[in-house]
Amino acid sequence: MNTTHKRYNIGLIVSDIEDDFSNHICRGVMEESEKMDNNLFIFPVKYLAPLSYFEAHSDILYEYQYNVLLSYAQSKSLDAILLCLSCIGYKTTPDVYRPVLDMFPDTPVILLSCEEEGFPCVMYNNTIGVEEGLTRLICEKGFTKIGMVSGDINNTDVLERFTAYKNALKRYDIPFDESRVVQGGYYEMDKIRIGEWLDAHRDLEAIFCVNDTITKLLYEALKERDIVIGKDIAIFGFDDIEDAAHMNPPLATVRADASLLGAYGVLEMHSLLNNMEQEIPTPVKRSVVPTTYLHRESASGVSVNEPTESINAFQYYKSRYEKMIDMNHKMNIVNRDMLMFGNDSSESYAALTHALSMEEIPSYYLYFLYHPVDNLDPATWNRPANIYLHSYRNGDKITELPRTKQRLSVDEMFNHPHLPAERKTYVLIDIYSREQQYGVFMCELPYEYFHYAEMLCYQISTAVKITSLFDTQKSLMDDKESMVRKLQQENSKLDNISNTDVLTGIYNRRGFLNRLEHALARVDYQNKKALLFYVDLNYLKQINDGFSHEDGDFSIKLCAKALCNVLGTTALVGRIGGDEFVAFLMTDTSAGCYYNKIKEYFTEFNKTSGKPYELTASVGIYPFDIHADLSIDVLLEQADNLLYEDKHIKPAFRTK
């Protein structure tokens, strides 16, 4: 272990970690972080796109929910971010994904496989390997009709590979034909487009594919047309993913080690953080990872494998198959245990906690939001300031925290006393159901089981959703029983109670308290500032006795009107006694400002009222921050205490 430097908390933002490129990036960052003794937190989002894109594809309608993880990466407990920006922005344009960089104004960011002005980055040398592969096809095979399956040209890597393709043609005086380039992707619709392009260019002798993952679709499209790869047409790709050497035929490709890209990123980040600590100026740096062309059967038509290649391939797939069977069995057990819930939510969460205790996940942290939060549009998601650590596991020990000890600021999420002292790598898995966000499962998931991350997401989310439904059902039953008891006790009296004060048209006591309770429980009101008003109309008895009850009613209505006009339509205003009024307003404005406005309203009224007496009111205003544990009785008591102080300085009753 390296003990000569501070241990940093590094965040890695990648797209789907089941994708080969992202998966290998993770491996390199994980290995180098372990060598450098840095904690690593992996945020596997999906890809940025407008909501309309997801709505147009029913099979991925709610996949935008994964992008919520970006907001957790803003936590101040991360020292730096490694960001695969072009990967998560693959389905959109730069003007959509570049604002992600603005999410980290105070956190150092290094880009991987992407280049943006003002940010250090680690890039492939996209030119050498591509030009070497094309040179062999042109010079050794004599090919001149060479096509390309490209990606989004806004992606830096794609643009550089496309430029290398054009430059190689130009070097050998082969005219560039734009129609021989098609944009590919990862979905069935992309394979259809590639197939249509192949049908229109039957004369192609060779194809360069921008990456190996898209090449798999090209292989399928060619085989559907009985075009023999390596014989009828030469193919080579880019990346040298794990499956490349085992494809049929083995894929010629440019070896661009994504794990090396990730490792370089950690080294550059570590150097940057060290310089920042020592206040050493660091220029924006572009680091380059070398690439090399690998000639295989798909481009040569002749096997270039070692004699043991087939044996190695068999062992490779056999090992993966055995691990898959073993993990599937354990996942089935997890499914069984998660669904053995009772109607009590505490028992359900305990079952969930213990079901996740499998040796392949040596430690985890189960974070929940205070209430499920709707995320109807990724562009408007507003991450709550706090999160609740329900339970965690370190080794063989499982700890379930009491509710009063669970709350953490999101800024403490990756640096709090419950985390272990030793270095760790964690993967964050979003917990959601349809449009509702529940929280985050942060687990120590070994690299070889990354392809189970999405399965864990669905399993945990299903379990939490079921528990939530049980809670809702229990709450409804409790409310129903309570209502029946109240109806029996109050009988016909309750039929005559309404929420509105007949004289003033504002809320009565019951109506006000019900609306206040609802407002204080709203998720989007939590941690916001508010004011509670307690107002007493002065000298109502003197007005009733000395003038008339009609004047008394007029005075009461005037006081209600004063509060409604001063506080505005967003305020809750109620009459809870003969001359007593209360109000609630969510605002950042000071209590003193509203106190003066209410007083001034009565002063201005008295100047032109034509009444033979002056109307005044005593006012108490209590400022507070909204949170779930507030007591309405305590709020009213605090405002009433301030009202009592104001009564001591009220003016004498004046007549004209």
Distance CA 186, CA 150 (A): 12
- What's the DSSP call for residue 570? T
Gap between the Cα atoms of 41 and 81, Å rounded: 9
Residue 207 has pLDDT above 90, yes or no: yes
Crossing angle of helices 309-338/453-490, nearest 10°?
A: 10
Q: Does residue 42 sit within a domain?
A: no
Averaged pLDDT, 286-312: 74
Does the structure show a pLDDT above 70 at 626? yes
Q: Read off the tokens for 10.
A: 């590094």
Task: Report d(CA 603, CA 581) in Å as an integer.
Answer: 19
Domain count, the chain: 2
pLDDT recorded at residue 537: 95
557: containing domain: 509-647
What DSSP character marks residue 481?
Answer: H
| 33 vs 7: CA distance, rounded Å | 10
Max CA separation in the chain (angstroms): 114
Cα distances from 486 to residues 413, 492, 615, in angstroms, run 44, 11, 40
Lowest mean pLDDT among 62-76, 88-102, 247-261, 540-554: 88-102
Q: Residue 311 corresponds to which tokens in the numbers above?
A: 């044996």
Other CB atoms within a 10 A radius of the CB of residue 595 amount to: 17
CA dihedral 179, 184, 190, 196 (to 10 degrees): 20
User: According to the model, what pLDDT value does residue 152 have?
Assistant: 78
CA 510, CA 525: separation in Å to the nearest integer? 22
What pLDDT does 310 receive? 46
How is the chain split among helix, strand and coil, in percent rounded to 5?
45, 20, 35
- Residue 360 forms part of a structural domain: no
pLDDT digits (tens, 9 = 90+) for 530-558: 999 999 999 999 999 999 999 999 999 99
| 478 has a pLDDT exceeding 80 | no
Q: Which residues pair with 292 in a beta bridge?
A: 255
Q: Is the pLDDT of residue 306 over 50?
A: no
What CATH number is attached to the domain comprising 588? 3.30.70.270
Q: Answer whether 351's CB lies under 8 Å from 338's CB.
A: yes
Q: What's the pLDDT at 492? A: 43
- Residue 554: phi and psi, rounded to 5, are -60, -45
- Bridge partners, residue 573, by sequence: 583
What is the mean pLDDT of the segment spanning 350-369? Answer: 80
Give phi and psi for 471, each to the nearest 5. Answer: -60, -45
* Residue 141 placed within a domain: yes
Q: What is the CA radius of gyration of the chain?
A: 34
Take residue 118 and report the two structure tokens written for it.
């003002």
pLDDT: is 467 or 222 the higher one?
222
Residue 355 contacts residue 334 (beta carbons within 8 Å): yes
Higher local confidence (pLDDT), 490 or 584: 584
Q: Residue 123 corresponds to which tokens in the numbers above?
A: 């890039």
Per-residue pLDDT reduced to its tens digit, 425-461: 999 999 998 889 999 999 998 888 887 788 788 878 8
Q: How far is CA 591 from CA 19, 235, 588, 597, 648, in A?
A: 55, 73, 9, 10, 19
* pLDDT of 329: 57
Calculate ∠ Cα 122-127-129, nearest 5°. 100
d(CA 86, CA 152): 10
**pLDDT for res 285:** 85
Let me know if 406 is exposed, middle or buried by CB neighbors in 10 A (0-12, 13-18, 19+): middle
Q: What is the band of 121 on the pLDDT scale with cuts at 50, 70, 90?
A: very high
pLDDT at 309: 46
**Confidence band, pLDDT 50/70/90 cuts, at residue 1:** very low
State how far the Cα of 247 lies from the Cα of 294, in Å rounded to an integer: 14
Pairwise CA distance, residues 130 & 149, whole Å: 13
Please say whether the dihedral angle defined by the alpha carbons of residues 304, 306, 310 and 313, taken in this order, is positive or negative. Answer: negative
CATH number at residue 148: 3.40.50.2300
Cα-Cα-Cα-Cα dihedral of 566, 570, 572, 575, to 10°? 40
176 DSSP 8-state letter: P
Residue 195: pLDDT over 70: yes
| pLDDT tens-digit map of 505-521 | 999 999 999 999 999 99
Backbone φ, ψ for residue 462 (5° rounding): -65, -45
Residue 76 has a pLDDT of 95
DSSP run (H or E) holding 264: helix 258-277
Strand-pair partners of 255: 239, 292
Q: For residues 330 and 266, what is the distance between their CA atoms, to the nearest angstrom? A: 33
Please state, for a pLDDT cut of 90, what percent of the chain lies above it: 58
Q: In percent, how much of the chain has pLDDT > 70?
A: 86
Q: Residues for the chain: how many in total?
A: 656
Residue 209 lies in a domain: yes
Q: Is 214 part of a structural domain of the chain?
A: yes
Average confidence (pLDDT) over 93-114: 89
Q: Which of 484, 353, 541, 453 minimizes the C-alpha distance to 66?
A: 453
- Whether residue 5 lies inside any domain: the answer is no
CA dihedral 49, 55, 58, 60 (to 10 degrees): 20
Answer with the one of 280, 309, 338 that is the final residue of a domain.
309
Tell the burial category of 545 from Cβ atoms under 10 Å away from its Cβ (0-12, 13-18, 19+): exposed
User: How do residues 13-63 score in pLDDT, each as one tens digit?
Assistant: 998 888 888 989 999 999 999 999 999 999 999 888 777 777 777 767 888
CA-to-CA distance for 47 and 27, rounded, in angstroms? 20
pLDDT for 334 beyond 90: no
606 assigned to some structural domain:
yes
Q: What is the DSSP string of 588-645?
A: SS-HHHHHHHHHHHHHHHHHH---SB---EEEEEEEEE--TT--HHHHHHHHHHHHHH
> Left (φ > 0), alpha (ψ -120 to 50) or beta: where does 269 sit?
alpha
Q: Does residue 315 belong to any structural domain of this protein? A: no
Strands 572-575, 580-586: pairing is: antiparallel
Supply 419's token pair. Answer: 């985390």
- The mean pLDDT value of the chain amounts to 86
